[in-house]
Amino acid sequence: MAAPDSSAPAPPTPPTDPAVAMLRLLGGFQLSQALYVVARARVVDLLADGPLRVDEVARATGLRPEPLRRVLRTLATEHLFVRDEDQDSVALGPLGHTLLSNTDDSLRDLALMWMETHYRPFAHLWSTLHDEVPAAEHEWGMPFFDWLAQEPERVAGFSAAMSSMMRAVRRDALHSLDLTGVRRVVDVGGADGTALAAVAERHPELRGTVFDLPHVVAAAPALLERAEVADRVDTEGGDFFAGVPAGADAYLACFILHDWNDEQCARILARIHEAAAPGARLFLVETVLGAGAAPGVGALLDLTMLGMLTGRERTRGDWNTLLGGNGFRVDGIRETAGPMCVIEATRT
């Protein structure tokens, strides 16, 4: 009989046994922490050029070899790594590259942020289903964005995670924006400018403003410089519940309204409505529950919203009602090759 090919990824386990499928789901919290360990220690980066012995990985990362070996073995069953037990070596598996540092589709910053901020609050989900207070507020005694603002490293980690998510799952949506006739766009809640820089790079005539809370948008000028769009894209700090920059012919809000409940969204939309002239375009990059190339992403993020904030993911009907009731006509909901959709609307 031929020896099994140790470089081939293990075949996925079919969920034929409901108890086994449930065990894997229930154990998800342990897998998340194991993923955090290898992401934080940059184990994946070490393997980018080829397999290494586990003791070499341990030496390079400062992790203890014996537990590291066990973590790698477990994550090999999740296709992160391929283990060669005879050689005691490890190589990247089919999912490994998603945790590399500094690649375009890296989710490493998200792995760090979710485990360092979102993990503990989720222990309070039970309470949220009784009192409507987000689990994050049970953990910290204050809303998520207030807690984030307390430490510059938290803000930087969150913006890095958002921009990595932007590149990994939202690029298709940003590339599909129809900006015909648009001269100036305001990115409402544009964080460190990653999204607007990507849009401006594709539209050389476009001018724009990244608008976010002052301590968040402070990171944007450097990023816009690096992207060589700083001569066309400026930044402004402020609170979108109080007002947004006026006079643009398009407003972009990428992953913003899903953070807030309908009443709070109505207040944000009212500020955009005041700032925009009739006929101005509004582009929302969001998930649409039940739609898009990967509907499971919206369902997962809906849980994130439930635990961390007052928001929710929304269906087509929800988006039509929310925008239609707040001075915007929905022109269409565009599905993209990725999990996100673009909701296109006009200020009436």
Ligand X SMILES: C[S@@+](CC[C@H](N)C(=O)[O-])C[C@H]1O[C@@H](n2cnc3c(N)ncnc32)[C@H](O)[C@@H]1O
Which residues have a catalytic role annotated?
Answer: 258
Query: Rounded to the nearest whole angstrom, what is the least distance from the CB of residue 244 to ligand X in the complex?
Result: 8
Q: Which is nearer to ligand X, 37 or 156 (CB)?
A: 156
How far lies 59's CA from each of 54, 64, 168, in Å? 9, 8, 31
Phi, psi of 341 (to 5 degrees): -120, 160
Q: Which is nearer to ligand X, 49 or 104 (CB)?
A: 104
Query: Rounded to the nearest whole angstrom, what is the least distance from the CB of residue 204 to ligand X in the complex?
Result: 22
Phi, psi of 222 (to 5 degrees): -65, -40
With beta carbons less than 8 A apart as the criterion, state whether 173 and 340 touch: yes
- Report the SS3 class of residue 296: helix
The 3-state secondary structure of 19-38 reads HHHHHHHHCHHHHHHHHHHH
Query: Rounded to the nearest whole angstrom, what is the least distance from the CB of residue 240 to ligand X in the complex?
Result: 4
Tokens 């269409």 correspond to: 332
Query: Rounded to the nearest whole angstrom, what is the least distance from the CB of residue 155 to ligand X in the complex?
Result: 8
With beta carbons less than 8 A apart as the criterion, state whether 92 and 82 touch: yes
Q: What is the DSSP string of 176-230?
A: T---TT--EEEEET-TTSHHHHHHHHH-TT-EEEEEE-HHHHTTHHHHHHHTT-T
Residues lying near ligand X in the complex (CB under 6 A) = 145, 162-163, 166, 189-191, 195, 212-213, 216, 239-241, 254-256, 259
Dist CA 273 CA 280 (whole Å): 9
Query: Rounded to the nearest whole angstrom, what is the least distance from the CB of residue 268 to ligand X in the complex?
Result: 8
Q: Which is nearer to ligand X, 82 or 301 (CB)?
A: 301
Q: Which is nearer to ligand X, 91 or 257 (CB)?
A: 257
Which H helix or E strand runs over 334? strand 328-335
**Tokens read off for 296:** 């499971």
Q: Which is nearer to ligand X, 254 or 342 (CB)?
A: 254
- Angle between helical axes of 28-40 and 18-26 (0-180°, round to 10): 50
Phi, psi of 237 (to 5 degrees): -95, 140
* Amino acid letter, residue 108: R
Query: Rounded to the nearest whole angstrom, what is the least distance from the CB of residue 19 to ligand X in the complex?
Result: 37
Dist CA 293 CA 284 (whole Å): 17
Q: Which is nearer to ligand X, 43 or 199 (CB)?
A: 199
- Angle between helical axes of 28-40 and 65-76 (0-180°, round to 10): 120
Q: Which is nearer to ligand X, 43 or 268 (CB)?
A: 268
Phi, psi of 87 (to 5 degrees): -85, -10
Query: Rounded to the nearest whole angstrom, what is the least distance from the CB of residue 248 to ligand X in the complex?
Result: 16
